[in-house]
Amino acid sequence: MEAEQNDNWSSEAYQNAASFVPKLATKVMQWLDPQKDDVILDIGCGDGVLNVEMARIIAQGSGHVHGIDSSPAMITAAKAAAEWAGVADRCTFEVADATALSCHIDLQMGTFTKAFSNAALHWILRPPRTRASVLRYVRDALAPGGIFAFEMGGLGNVCEVRTALLSAVGRRVGLARAREADPWFFPDEEWVRHVMEVKVGGWKVERAEREWRPTKADKGGVEGWVRLMAKKWFEILPEAEREECIREVVDVLEIVLRQPSGGHSLGYVRLRVLARKL
């Protein structure tokens, strides 16, 4: 999740609108390939579902998982998940801003063998000033030869949703201001290679791919997704106009995203990367 002054996340709302996110992380988890003695840093760990999976593997050896997230609610949920699964001794969690990891000396000691991130960097990297610095912080947290496996929204992700939001919000406050409110950054493979290998340096991108992955809306439907994931778009509107705007966006998307067989499908495009610290 993105670092924010206010905690806009709750585990309950996330499970209602996007419980599919960790369930669809199979491929990036394969790229991470957690082993029993790995020491793993998870950036934007959310409610800890994937950390519990990792911990069940590393419980066979001496490994450890440390998850960070800017949302106190998500960290609370992650700690509870680890306790319930009986792996709390192999998982630690911390409320931390991924854009300010230089303030966390213990995360900059080059002691992690692997780093991981799923569905978080498109929030974290939205401000241009964060992009190189976050990738530099992750590099410095890894031991030489350590890998960083991550998946995020890629170029073209949820383009129907963004179009509906830009149209509805932009008509009320102007297109330029609506663009500023967009909380997401969806890059492509070329951008990742250039920033990691050239601008930041010390990285070798070993694999990078974009995958179009239409994803069926969760039980909260299109409206649940829009209310949670697009919340920042509506915060720039006068409070009296927000519900009307949300309704307009949802009504359009429920037509555009409707599946002939029933339900709705979001146009997800995922960018998946495996990089190694030189």
Q: pLDDT tens digits, residue range 59-87?
A: 999 999 999 999 999 999 999 999 999 99
144-156 pLDDT, tens digit per residue, is 999 999 999 999 9
Higher-confidence residue of 42 and 101: namely: 42
Three-state SS at 177: helix
> What's the mean pLDDT in 221-246?
95
Contact 65, 55 (CB under 8 A): yes
pLDDT at 259: 94
pLDDT band at 6 (very low <50, low <70, confident <90, very high): low
- Dist CA 54 CA 65 (whole Å): 7
Are β-strands 142-153 and 265-277 bridged in parallel, bridged antiparallel, or unpaired? Answer: antiparallel
248-269 pLDDT, tens digit per residue, is 999 999 999 999 999 999 999 9
Average pLDDT over the chain, rounded to whole?
90
| Highest mean pLDDT, choosing among 97-101, 213-217, 269-273 | 269-273
Is residue 90 predicted with pLDDT exceeding 90? yes
pLDDT at 16: 52
Residue whose C-alpha is closest to residue 261's, from 216, 212, 213: 216
Cα–Cα–Cα angle for 244, 248, 250, rounded to 5 degrees:
115
pLDDT band at 3 (very low <50, low <70, confident <90, very high): very low
Is residue 25 predicted with pLDDT exceeding 90? no
> What's the one-letter identity of residue 202?
G
> What's the mean pLDDT in 96-107?
75
- Dist CA 74 CA 70 (whole Å): 8
DSSP 264: B
Share of the chain above pLDDT 90, in %: 82
Distances (CA, A) of 134 to 77, 117, 170, 182, 204: 24, 12, 30, 20, 16
> What's the one-letter identity of residue 179?
R
> What's the mean pLDDT in 208-222?
93
pTM above 0.85, yes or no: yes
CA 181, 153, 187, 6 torsion-angle sign: positive
